[in-house]
Amino acid sequence: MSGRSFMITHAKSIYGSVPLIGWLVGMLLAVLTESFFGNTLAYALYLPKVPALFGLTIVLKQPSLFPATVFYVLLIYCLPIFAVAGLTATWANRFAAAMEKLPLWFSAIIHIGVLYLVLHLWTDLSDYRLQISKLTMIAVMLTLSINVINGYMGEFSCSHPGFMALGAYASSTFSLALFHQDRLFGTPLLPEFLGPYMFPMGLLLGGAAASLGAMVVAIPSFRTRGDYLAIISLAFMFIVKSVLENLEVVGGARGMGGQPHWATLPAVFIGMTVCIGVINNFVNSTMGKALNAVRDNEAAAEAMTVNTRRTKMTAFMFGAFWAGVAGGFYAHELRYINPSSFGIQMLAEILAMVYFGGLNSVVGSVVGALSIQMLSEALRPLELFKWIIIPLLLILVMIFRPTGLIAFREFNIRKTFGPKVLKKRI
């Protein structure tokens, strides 16, 4: 056995058995180290400030800082994460095994809580990180919701920007008309301090508006599918955009601005976790299997007592609901929306994320949204060439893995949170 492969086997034997909680604790320690020593270390290494996105942006902007950045990332992130994960593997496994005996919600709360702490500490250091994280989480919700229609049900729906616009406008109208002073609706009807508590209502309203809009696409889908449905959904997107441009009540083509700043990190994080949980449960339910049946063979599904009409309707409305919620978050995060931002450009981005990550898979959607968002931030210094590199990457992914990177994989929450036992390889 050569030295190199021995190293790899050795690393596998240690890190293959680290459960998720071990990695999370390692990450927690890493971000704690960064919040205490990050600035000091950055000054010591002659970095202008703490590298915002693991040094991804610095590498292209100022290549001379590359060695210092790599050193910083190794010292601040890699060392604590790998040290903690490796050293506490046994303890973490015992803890995970103990939690497995308790109800699932308990370990879910612990994992999600630690993840939130990590994210909170990490984004505390720079507003740039905060903005990117929130937009990425919104993108995760969007990608998941389009995966329900395009991946699980197998329709090529182009209407997602439209659903998102409906959600964004409905929830913005809700919060501006009721709780916030602005130029379109004037004095609010209710006192403003109630607003943040009623924000979930506004999001639900946005989701409901998008679901209602989805019926316009869902009803023609009873009679046709494939390309004609793609056109119908595309027409729907153009119609929504055009209606919003002509509605002077919501600002017309000038858009709608000044939404209150309610899309805070905890709000978006809770939205995303609920979205992932609900969509994962949905696609693993009987209805989710019915979606797959409709996709693979509609006639056979009908023969097997699947109510195809109800299935299609549910899928469209469910996917649109989450797109609407994501739209509500999007509006309250950017605090300005106008109809032209929900156009072909956004459609191309959403489609890129879902097809990059993988159809028919919750993990794939998360990975797709995360990687496309991170890539587009990391390549920002390249300006124009960013839009050559990302499409090229996507073409390569499509050629070598036509359904996306992590397609057709079930996401088992219990297994993900549970302890990891390394399989002995002989």
Q: Which residues bind another protein (CB under 8 A)?
A: 150, 154-156, 216, 219-220, 223-228, 230-232, 234-236, 238-239, 241-243, 245-246, 253, 295-298, 344, 348, 351-352, 355, 359-360, 384-385, 387-388, 391-392, 394-395, 398-399, 402-403
Residues 306 and 294: their CA atoms lie apart, in Å, by 8
Residue 357 C-beta: closest distance to another protein, Å: 12
Q: Are 159 and 230 in contact (CB under 8 A)?
A: no
Q: Which is nearer to another protein, 246 or 412 (CB)?
A: 246
Q: Which is nearer to another protein, 192 or 296 (CB)?
A: 296
Q: Which is nearer to another protein, 123 or 150 (CB)?
A: 150
Helix (H) or strand (E) holding 418: none
| Placement of tokens 């995966």 in the chain | 147
Separation CA 349–CA 363 (nearest Å): 18
Question: Shortest Cβ distance from residue 126 to another protein (Å)?
Answer: 29
DSSP state of 151: I
| Closest distance of CB 297 from another protein, Å | 7
> What is the smallest separation between the CB atom of 265 and another protein, expressed in angstroms?
31
Token representation of residue 119: 């994210």
Residue 100 or 302 with smaller CB distance to another protein: 302
| Secondary structure of 258-294 as H, E, C letters | CCCCCCCHHHHHHHHHHHHHHHHHHHHCHHHHHHHHH
Amino acid at position 186, single letter: G
User: How far apart are the C-alpha atoms of 113 and 121, rounded to whole Å?
Assistant: 12
Q: How many CA atoms lie within 13 Å of 326's alpha carbon, on the beta-carbon side?
A: 30
Helix (H) or strand (E) segment spanning residue 114: helix 104-124
Between 128 and 408, CB nearer to another protein: 408
Q: How far is the CB of 311 from another protein (least distance, A)?
A: 15
Q: How far is the CB of 132 from another protein (least distance, A)?
A: 22
Residue nearer to another protein on the CB measure, 263 or 306:
306
